[in-house]
Every structure is written in structure tokens, then in C-alpha cells.
Structure 1
């Protein structure tokens, strides 16, 4: 048996037998107490701070890195029916209707949280979201005004999560908050533009 695992198990066992518990992170986001404007600000911040390629966790196994540290992902809130700012397709037809029809593939995005990938967040937090979703946009607009545009955007679940990291002895070494967007379908709407 790996010596790190033995030490980790012994440390956790000793901590539990002494009744030790980790305190909640003082700056933890509680989405249930956020207003609609605060949630929209978090969504805007998420999409504004995406890197081109999400950083993969170190090591070969989700939940550990190369030096023996481990992490635990916990979901602190979910906002369903969130729209991504990305426009998949659009049409304009002043004084009449227009239709959107297109096959699309949408990818999950992640921001913060020790650079975990969307797949690692979903798996480690016990979520069942896919990191890629294919769908067909098929929407018809109402009668559009002169300055109106009919658009389709990815729609899905916006997730707030915390990542707690522990060293190989089981001691808490840091917490970082993150957000993730998991597309589940497409939303069509009229906007001005």
C-alpha cells in the first residue's frame, strides 16, 4: 500500500476521532442569497475571464496532483436556464418573421477553481453534465421591428463551486471559488441591435 495513502488515512481518521472539522470558507459564495443582478454579474464575469484552453489538473487522476495533494469540489449553487452570451446564429427581417435552423455543438466552460476542466468539475462534484452538447436550432421569430434581431444562444446550467485542496497529510491548504457553464440546449429570443 502506498505510504502517502496510509498517512492520509491515518491523519483523517485521527482528525475525525478528535471531532475536528474544517470551517466553512469565509468568503464562500451563497448563490441562493444573490439577487438576479448579482447572478448576471457572476455570469458576465465568468464568460469575460475564460482562457482559450482550460488548464488540466496536474497528474493523471482527477482529484490529485503530482505531489500528493488532493482536492474536493463542492457545488455551492446552480442557476438553471442561464444563457451564454455567445450567439450561435441570427436573422433579421423587419416587418416580418424569420427562421433559425442550424445544427450546433456547444462546449462547457469553466473559470477559476485551481484551473480544473469542466469535466473534472462535473465528475468531482457528482454532477451529470456533459462537457459537449449537440443540438439543432429550430426557431421562428415573431414579427420583427426595424432594429430587432432574432438570435439563438446556448442555454444551460451555471454552477458555482468551491475547490478545497489538501496536502498529503490531509491538512487543508487552500480554497478557491470557481464557476462553470454546462450547456443543455438552445434559447431563441429577440434583441435590439
Structure 2
């Protein structure tokens, strides 16, 4: 599969390196040609511009800081631009000071991105930091990490599920794109707990007890 990645930061490197290692063709696009080339060399991928990454292949990963997303999408064109009808994986987190969502009071990040681009957006990979995605595989005592997927396009969901399995993880269908806002809010809550030194797993009983 050919995967374009918008961004050259930690999430771009973690996921892009794993997919390149699984045999996919990966093109990293960034504002800095030097950073894109350096990352491509480390990850055994290719380097290009943001526009080249947006039009590269079968899927595009949006791996930019959320505050840079709106400007980048404007550069790439509105709903009839470079990302129109493309499979766009959104792993961004709109989390600001106090671990609050910066999208509060409006549509969630994934929905806003879909509306701005006309892309077939799947929310995925946002719930954990890059350090987890760098593990080969991301699996612990309880087994492989589950990756929630929120989206409305069946073909896009199947494609992203395959990319999840390529990491050694388990895809978890979590509903349509309307559910992405809940995943984004949950992630903001989890980040706040982690940064406060709390283990979110202690909030939950075993599955059997919760469903008895």
C-alpha cells in the first residue's frame, strides 16, 4: 500500500516507520524539505511536500499538531482540493491547557476535518502517544493494543483496520464519525490522568464484572 503522511513529527515517524517496515511505501511530507528527507532516511521511506503526501497512494495520515491543521488544510484546498474523497486517517488531538479540548462547543476535530476537506476521515491512533506505536509490536500482558476506529466509510474502515493489524494491534470498530468526538474527549481525559500520575486502568473493573 502507498501511504502519504502529512507531518514529520513523532507520530509521523512512529507510525510511518512501522508501516514502512511492514512493506508499505511511505512518503513523508513536511514544510521543511530537510526534516522530511532526514525522516525518510531513518524510516526507509520517501520525502516530499505536503501536497505530494496528500496525493500519494491509498491512504493519508494526518500527523500534524492540531493547531497547524486548519492552515495546512487551507493550503491544500477546500472540500474540492487535494484531499477530496481520499482516505484520511486523523490521529490528531485538539488538547489545550488544562487538558481541555480546544474544539469544545463546536464539532469534534475529525468531523471538522471531514467537513473542510471532503475526505473519507477515519479517527484512529490518537488515543496513545508515539512511544507506544514505536513498540514492535505494541502488546502488553493483556495482549495487543486495541485501536478504536471511528468513521462512516466501510472501505476506508477496512483499509485502516489492515494497517492496524500491520502494527500488531487489534482494530476496534467504535462507531461512525459522530463517535469520534467521544474518542477525542476520552483521550483528553486520559492524557490528564497520565500527566497527573494516575493509572486510568484502575478506574475499570474486569470486563466480566462490568457486563454481569
Q: Specify the TM-score bucket, using the shorter chain as the normaliser.
A: under 0.3
> Please, what TM-score do these two structures have when normalized by structure 1?
0.23
TM-score normalised according to structure 2 size? 0.21
- Name the structure where strand makes up a greater proportion of residues: 1
Structure label with greater radius of gyration: 1
Tell me which of the two structures has the higher relative contact order, counting C-alpha pairs closer than 8 angstroms and 6 or more residues apart: 1
